[in-house]
Structure formats: structure tokens, C-alpha cells
Structure 1
Amino acid sequence: MKRPKLTATERTELLGVQSLGKLLLRLSGPAITGMLVQSMYNLVDTIFVGKGVGTLALAALAVCFPIQMLLLGVGKTVGIGAASIISRKLGEGKDEEAGITAGGSFVLAAVLGFVISMSGLLFLDPVLRLFGAGEGILPYGRDYLSTVLLGGTFFSVSVCSNDIARSEGNARVAMISMFVGAGVNIVLDPVFIFLLDMGIQGAALATVIGQVSAFVWIMGYFFSGGRSYLRFDRRHLIPGSRQSWEILKIGSPAFSRIVGGSLMALVVNNSIMHYGLPMHLAVLGVANRMMTFAMMPVFGLVQGLQPIVGYNYGARAFGRVKKALRYAVISATALTGSYFLLFQLAPGFMLSLFSSDARLIEEGTGILRVLVMMMPLVGFQVIGAGVFQALGKAGKALVLSTSRQVLFLIPFALILPLVFASPLTGVWVAFPSADFLAAAVTAAFFFREVRNMRELAS
């Protein structure tokens, strides 16, 4: 007999009563699946570009990637900030306020995404040069980024909307949205790159069409058929200044993490081009795509965890919060530990999936092993930052979100090349050094918060 579907109200109420293991799996499972699929199209882009266009095009993707991440950052900033508020409002029984927050967040994400996209198009060449594009890389970067930025507004809004769907306990909708975008992209990539011989610009066009498709689907969920628990009217679509500030304040750690990553890329890319070759930049670009894909289950775990933590913290069910945190930390550490083994044991094979350049594979093998040395600690660090976002403690979340890239990695990337006999080795060693120190800072904040919850519960 087929189990009847849960109503929107029942889905939300389960955040406070369902077995935590099952609840975390129910919320994070679709998020993990969807994010893996979404990230897969970045991998597919890289594979097709590497095999079909060449090493300089791979280096161009490395230059463009942190700029694209700014659009992701806008969507995550608004989405995570709004989701934290919505989960807590639902936990407090304030459904109308939750709906007002959700409606205003769509417009806020659209406005910010549009501003970043237009700014990038207006200053295209200076931005590409700033992130390390030399004369050989610049034409490829120009073709790719000028096209990708056309879909930036749609991308930011769909990313934000996915977080809001999760905040009401409907992670499956967010998963389907990501499936739609990634599926369209993956199908169109070989058509545009090979069949129509559009090269790197074809990869960018496939990405834009996929992003628009995901946007159309998720907007249909919220604004047609009453499938969402949240309710909107036209006044909900005009964000107030206080509401916008609260959303941005809570979501700012997500943006800070991504901006920090972009600043880190600026420093690292230019260091690599100063001490090395475009091939080394291509290696870093491929490594970043692989590690980003590998980390998607951890990010999905965080997205499943956040509504649980936010709802139960709002309901003062601190015992459930602590138990959920324990499940999440163990799961994240197991995941990142397994990735560490994979990248240590088969780095050459992994790189060969993206390029046929023998020198890139040979030099990249050692580089990849160094980059992932502290990867088992990264999962815990991501969980820690996500927890403070869910609790609405923006200051602590901001410190944890920026510690790896800004506080540690950027200084190390500037200093260590001066210490090592091979400056490039210093650049690579900066990554695991930053991972270790960021995890140590996270541990100090995290366990203090757990003690505070224990005292509140007593």
C-alpha cells in the first residue's frame, strides 16, 4: 500500500519530533544528491573543456571559477539567512512572518545577482586579469565568463530558493531543482562544445540554459499549486530594510566564505602565474573542481542539519540539537576521510579524467597529494560554521567561515613561497596548513557552544 504524502504542515512539524537519524537522512539525502548532481556539471564542463579545448582553457576555468562563486555566494547569503529565520519562525509558530521573509528574499537575491553580473560584464577584462589571466588565457576566459554572467541573476535566485524549500522541510524540491539545472547542462555540453564546435563558449552557454531551467522549475513550486507551506502575496515580494539587513547579517558568513575563497584565488592564482606556468594553474583548477565535488555531501549534510538545528533551538529542544550535531560531525568526518584516501591512492588517475596532457598529470599527482593532506578535518570545520549560521549567531559564523581562506590561507600563500626552496611548493603547502588551523579554531568555538546548550538545558 502506497504511503500517503505528508502535508506541508506535517513536514515542518517533523523537524521537532522525528527520529534524528532518519530526519537528518531525509533532509540531507536529497540535498546531498542534488548538490552532487549540480556540482557534477562543473566537473563535466571541466572534462569536456580539458579534453576538447586544451590546457589553456582549463586554466581559464580556474580564473573564472572564483568569479562565478560570487554569484553562488549571493544566493547562499540570502538563502541561508532567510532559511535560518524561516526555520526559527516556523518553530515558534509564526507562519506569516516566515512567508514574508521568504517572499522578500527572492527579490533581494535577484537584485544582488543582477548587480554582480552587470559589474562583471562592464569590467570583464580587468576582472579576468586581476584573477590571474595572462595573454594566453585571456581569450578563453573572455568567451566563457561573458556568457556565464548572462545567467547570473537566475542562478542566484534559484540557489536562494533551494535553501528556502529546505527550511520548510522539503529538501526533495531543492534536489529536483538542482537535477533540472544540472541535467540540462550535462546534455547540452557535448552538443555545444563538439557538435556545434563552440568550444569553451559552448560550455558556458550550456551552463546558462541549465540555470534558467532550474529557476523556472523552483519558481513554479513556490508560486503555483499551493505545494509550499509558505504563503505569499505581493507585499511579501518587497523586502523591507530591516528584513533585508537581518537576512544579510545571518547569511553573511556564507558570502564571506565565498568572497574569502575568491580573494584566496586572486592571491594563489597570481602566485602560481608568478612562480609557475599556466599548466600549474590548470592543475589547481582541476583540483578545486574535484575537491568541490567531493565536499558536496558535506555541504548537503549541513543544509539538512540547519533546519533541524534552527527549529529545535527555537523550540528550546537543546538535547535534540546536540544529538543532531553529533550525528553530523561523525558523518562529515567519515566522508572527508574517505576522500583523503581516494586522492592519496589514485591522484594520477583522477587527473587523467580531465586532461590528456602527460606533464600536467605527472606534476599534478604530487600537487594533489599535498593539497588534500588535512582533508579529514575539513568536514568538521564546515559543520561548525554551518551550525552557527543556523543558530543565527552571525559573528561567530563569520569568523569560522573566513578563517581558512582569509586568516590563514592568504597569508600562507604569500609567505611560504619565500620560505621554501621551490616557491611553488610553498603555495601548495599553504592549503593543508590553513585547513589544520581553521579546524582548531572551529573546535574551540564549537565545543564551547555545546557546553552552553548543556547549561541552558539543565
Structure 2
Amino acid sequence: MKRDLGNEKISVLLLDQSVPAILSMLVAAIYNLVDRMFIGRINSLGLTAIGITMPFQIVQMAFVLLIGVGGSTLISIKYGEGKIKSAENILINSFIFFIITELLVTILCLIFINPIFSLLGVSNNVYGLAKDYIVVMLLGGIPGLTGYCLNNTVRSLGFSRNAMTYVLLSSVLNIILDAIFIFIFGWGVKGAAIATVISQTLVTIFVLGFFIKSKGVPIKLRLNNLKVDFRVVKEVFSNGLPSFYMQVVGTVVGILLNRFIISYGGDYHLASITIISSIGLFFSMFYYGVSQGAQPIIGYNFGAGKIERSIKTVYLTLIFITFISILFMIVLELFPEFLVKFFTKDSGLIKLTVYNIKIYLLGLPFIGIHSISTTYFISIKKPRISSLLNILKFGGIIIPLLYILPNFFGINGVYISNALSDTISGIIAFVLLYIQLKNTRKEQNTL
């Protein structure tokens, strides 16, 4: 159902747009978990193969975010301005250049697959499984990920329920095909990859149908009206860079963080941090979902010149995120053991993780503040500030802390580094957001 982003009550719009975004993330997380459970049941080396080839998929998804987020935020602004042809031009250029970038990624990765495997340390025992899995995922990049890229635009136009439905149906299909290909056909990790590509392609079919044939959709994908515009592509890339940095830099820091944990704490602490990260990611999904829900409202009203509505959306989102944060912190303080027991029955690991989680996730509330701040800056075409904030959060602050604090506090210094990084980056984001909102209001009052 199409929502009136420029006139409906903001609180109703925010709830309507946020809930489907949150559910989409949760469903995707569940199907990833089930996928790994199926693989783990037949071959533990299969899990290693999937895990060690993750950098390939991270690069693929980085371009999904670069073009998907960059294009969708610009489209929501043009939609608010009433410039439908400009929005459609952005959509078709995003579509074409996503295919080009994914094609280049696929070709380069397939050509240099052996050197990359050597760099990643793929052993002879895992080599065959890893290659079976990642070759299918690479070849399925264009048909499978195009829909995920353009699904950002479906959401940014206010059709968040459609975007959620596409992901939900894809996830259900993936689980069914996983069971068939892995257990009945005996295809192993290759079967898991084929199931993933087929289910992802379903999203592409749905999304292309949405933009080509669906009635009531304001922005259409008109393939017969293609006009390559490198200025548009440059703007899309520029607006999508914050999300690109978040994906790539965050992954590098994750690898570095694991090395520090192993160095100062060993494998037991690595198991602990895996549990904590999973719990933290679950909580963070709510923040990111709310921010995704706010983006089309902010972008549309900014483009429509309804600046006060876009600012009010930010304030309501901050209030909502603060409320959620308080609930999350109460749960973490009062019931940490209950959460940890979902992942392990090892009493020693439970005790260690219950202690660590309160340190590592101390900055959890500031993740939400950072998320809506970066979303706002992207939505008003200030991607450089958003890029700066993402670089600070996902690397600029935590990397120097990791080289300093563990020298004084040992393994606890690693956990403190993460908490401080989340907190400091969140505070910086809030200060910059406050200054921007104040200046925007001043500019609006002088008109």
C-alpha cells in the first residue's frame, strides 16, 4: 500500500515503515542461521568453507549497499520534489551500473580465485568445498543481488511492506530448497549456494515486476528509455559511499578484533565474543530497521521542501531509539544469562560471556543514535559527513584503542575498546546532527 509520506502523521508513518524493515532483517538473519545449521549437520568443513569465503560475499554486498542505498536516497528526494523523470533516470542508471559492477566483481574474483584463496589461507581440505560454494555465489551475483539492490528503492518510496514480503518469501523458499538440495539431492555446500541464488533471484523477479508492471508505483523502470548519465552515477556512488565504508571497513576491523581477542584471550574468548556479537547484532537490527523506516520520510519531505517534517521525523526517531535502548539495557543488565544460554550450555563459557557482554555492549544505545544520524545526512545529500561518521565508528576510533587499551587492561581492554568506540562515535554523531538540525532550522526561518 502506498503511503502519503508528505501528509500522514509522522509517528504512524515511522511505525508503518520501520516494522517491515526490522522484520526483513530478522527473517534474513534466521534463514542464514538455518542455512548454516543444515550445512553443519552434514559436514563441519562445509561451515569452514562458507566462513572462509565470506570476503567474496562482503565485496558483493558492498556494491549492493553502494548503489542500492546511494540510489534509493536520491530517488526519495527527487520523488519529494515531484521530479519523477529524474528519479526514473537515477533508477535505470543504478540498475545498469549495478549489473556492470557485479559483472566486474564476478569476472575478477573467478580469474584470481586461487591467489585469493591462498591469501585467505584456504587449506587443501577445504579448497574443493570452498570453490564449489563461492563459484555458484559469484555466478549468481547478478540475478540474485540485483533485487536486493533495488529493494532499497522499493522501501524508500514508502512501500516497505512490499520490500518485506519479497525478502520473506525468498527466505522461506531458501530454507525449503536448502532441505531439498542438501538432504535429499545430497549436493552439500553447492546445494546451499544454488538454493541461495535461486531464492535471491526470486527477489529480483518481484522487484523488477514492481517497477515495470505494478500499478500505483510512482517511479517506473523504463528499459526502453535508457540514458546513461555519468553525473547521476557519480552522485549515486557518492551518496552510497557511507554504507560501502561501513561494510568494508567494518569487516576489516572485525578480522582485526578477532586477532586481538585470540592474542590476549584465546579461543574461549573468541567463542564468547561470537555469542556477544550475535546478541548485539540482534539488538542493532531494531536500530537499523527504525532508521530505514525513517529514511523515506526524511528524504521525501526534504525533497518536497517540508523541512520541519523531516526534522520532526529525526526527533521522533531519536525518542523511539532512546526508549528501545533503555529496554535493551535493562534486559542486558537483568537477564544476560538467559540470552547467553540460547547459544551454549557450557557453564564456564556462560559465566565468561555474562561478564564480558556488559562491557562489550555498554555503548549499545549510541549505535542507534549513530544510525539515525548517518541516515539523516545521507537523506539530505550530505554523504561526506555520513562517510566520516561511519569511518569513525567502524575503524577510526576502535583501531587505535585496540593498540592501546589491551596493553593496560589485557583482554578487558579489547571489550572496553568496542564500548568506547560505540559511545564516542555516537556522541560525535549526535553533536553533528544537533548542529545540522539547528542550522537547517535557521536557514528555513530566514526564507
Residue 9 of structure 2: aligned partner? 19
**Is the Cα–Cα contact under 8 Å of residues 287 and 367 in structure 2 kept in the other structure?**
no
Distance in 2 separating the partners of 1:318 and 1:389: 15
**Is the Cα–Cα contact under 8 Å of residues 306 and 386 in structure 1 kept in the other structure?**
yes
Report how many residues are paired.
Answer: 445
> In the alignment, is residue 309 of structure 1 matched against residue 298 of structure 2?
yes
SS at match of 2:405: helix
Per-residue deviation, residues 167-201 of structure 1 (Å, max 9, x unmatched): 32222221111112211223333444555555555
Q: Which amino acid aligns with 2:17?
A: L
Q: Within 5 Å, give how 1:178-327 maps onto structure 2.
A: 178-195=167-184, 200-234=189-223, 236-237=225-226, 239-275=228-264, 280-281=269-270, 283-327=272-316
Residue 441 of structure 2: aligned partner? 454
Per-residue deviation, residues 416-455 of structure 1 (Å, max 9, x unmatched): 333333xx44333321121011112101211001101221
TM-score normalised by L of structure 1: 0.85
How far does residue 247 in structure 1 lie from its aligned partner after superposition?
A: 0.5
**Is the Cα–Cα contact under 8 Å of residues 75 and 158 in structure 1 kept in the other structure?**
no
How far does residue 230 in structure 1 lie from its aligned partner after superposition?
A: 1.3
**Is the Cα–Cα contact under 8 Å of residues 361 and 419 in structure 2 kept in the other structure?**
yes
Q: 1:122–1:83: structure 2 CA closer, same or farther, 3 Å change rule? A: same
Match of 2:30 among 40, 60, 76: 40
Residue 390 of structure 1: aligned partner? 379
How far does residue 42 in structure 1 lie from its aligned partner after superposition?
A: 2.2
Q: Which amino acid aligns with 1:267?
A: L
How far does residue 144 in structure 1 lie from its aligned partner after superposition?
A: 4.6
How far does residue 336 in structure 1 lie from its aligned partner after superposition?
A: 3.7
**Is the Cα–Cα contact under 8 Å of residues 104 and 240 in structure 1 kept in the other structure?**
yes
Distance in 2 separating the partners of 1:426 and 1:287: 16
Q: 1:264–1:387: structure 2 CA closer, same or farther, 3 Å change rule? A: same
Q: 1:235–1:146: structure 2 CA closer, same or farther, 3 Å change rule? A: same
How far does residue 101 in structure 1 lie from its aligned partner after superposition?
A: 0.9
CA RMSD in angstroms, aligned pairs only: 3.2
SS at match of 2:305: coil
Residue 101 of structure 1: aligned partner? 90
SS at match of 1:15: coil
How far does residue 456 in structure 1 lie from its aligned partner after superposition?
A: 2.0
Distance in 1 separating the partners of 2:438 and 2:342: 46
Q: 1:335–1:59: structure 2 CA closer, same or farther, 3 Å change rule? A: farther
- Residue segments in structure 1 that go unaligned for 5+ positions in a row: none
Residue 166 of structure 2: aligned partner? 177
**Is the Cα–Cα contact under 8 Å of residues 16 and 311 in structure 1 kept in the other structure?**
yes
Structure 1 range deviating more: 322-331 or 69-78:
69-78
Residue 430 of structure 2: aligned partner? 443
Distance in 1 separating the partners of 2:140 and 2:83: 35
Distance in 2 separating the partners of 1:179 and 1:207: 13
**Is the Cα–Cα contact under 8 Å of residues 46 and 354 in structure 1 kept in the other structure?**
no
Q: 1:158–1:233: structure 2 CA closer, same or farther, 3 Å change rule? A: closer
Q: 1:433–1:35: structure 2 CA closer, same or farther, 3 Å change rule? A: same
Q: Which amino acid aligns with 2:373?
A: G
TM-score normalised by L of structure 2: 0.87
**Is the Cα–Cα contact under 8 Å of residues 132 and 269 in structure 1 kept in the other structure?**
no
Residue 161 of structure 1: aligned partner? 150
Q: Which amino acid aligns with 1:175?
A: M
How far does residue 398 in structure 1 lie from its aligned partner after superposition?
A: 0.6
Match of 2:415 among 428, 433, 442: 428
Distance in 2 separating the partners of 1:274 and 1:135: 26
> In the alignment, is residue 331 of structure 1 matched against residue 331 of structure 2?
no
Distance in 2 separating the partners of 1:19 and 1:149: 43
Distance in 2 separating the partners of 1:118 and 1:351: 42
Q: Which amino acid aligns with 1:17?
A: N
Distance in 2 separating the partners of 1:126 and 1:363: 39
Residue 99 of structure 2: aligned partner? 110
Distance in 2 separating the partners of 1:341 and 1:269: 28
**Is the Cα–Cα contact under 8 Å of residues 145 and 204 in structure 2 kept in the other structure?**
no
Q: 1:335–1:42: structure 2 CA closer, same or farther, 3 Å change rule? A: farther
SS at match of 1:17: coil
Distance in 1 separating the partners of 2:15 and 2:324: 14
How far does residue 368 in structure 1 lie from its aligned partner after superposition?
A: 3.7
How far does residue 115 in structure 1 lie from its aligned partner after superposition?
A: 2.6
Q: Which amino acid aligns with 2:60?
A: L
**Is the Cα–Cα contact under 8 Å of residues 145 and 200 in structure 2 kept in the other structure?**
no
Q: 1:412–1:115: structure 2 CA closer, same or farther, 3 Å change rule? A: farther
**Is the Cα–Cα contact under 8 Å of residues 70 and 239 in structure 2 kept in the other structure?**
yes
How far does residue 249 in structure 1 lie from its aligned partner after superposition?
A: 0.5
Structure 1 range deviating more: 266-275 or 443-452:
266-275
Structure 1 range deviating more: 172-181 or 346-355:
346-355
How far does residue 67 in structure 1 lie from its aligned partner after superposition?
A: 4.5
Distance in 2 separating the partners of 1:343 and 1:64: 33
**Is the Cα–Cα contact under 8 Å of residues 105 and 239 in structure 1 kept in the other structure?**
no
Distance in 1 separating the partners of 2:125 and 2:265: 14
Residue 18 of structure 2: aligned partner? 28
**Is the Cα–Cα contact under 8 Å of residues 42 and 289 in structure 1 kept in the other structure?**
no
- Residue segments in structure 2 that go unaligned for 5+ positions in a row: none
Residue 378 of structure 1: aligned partner? 367
Distance in 2 separating the partners of 1:420 and 1:127: 36
Per-residue deviation, residues 146-176 of structure 1 (Å, max 9, x unmatched): 4433333344322221111123222222111
SS at match of 1:16: coil
Structure 1 range deviating more: 29-38 or 283-292:
283-292
Per-residue deviation, residues 218-255 of structure 1 (Å, max 9, x unmatched): 11211224452213433554532111001000111111
Over the matched positions of the two proteins, sequence identity in percent amounts to: 29
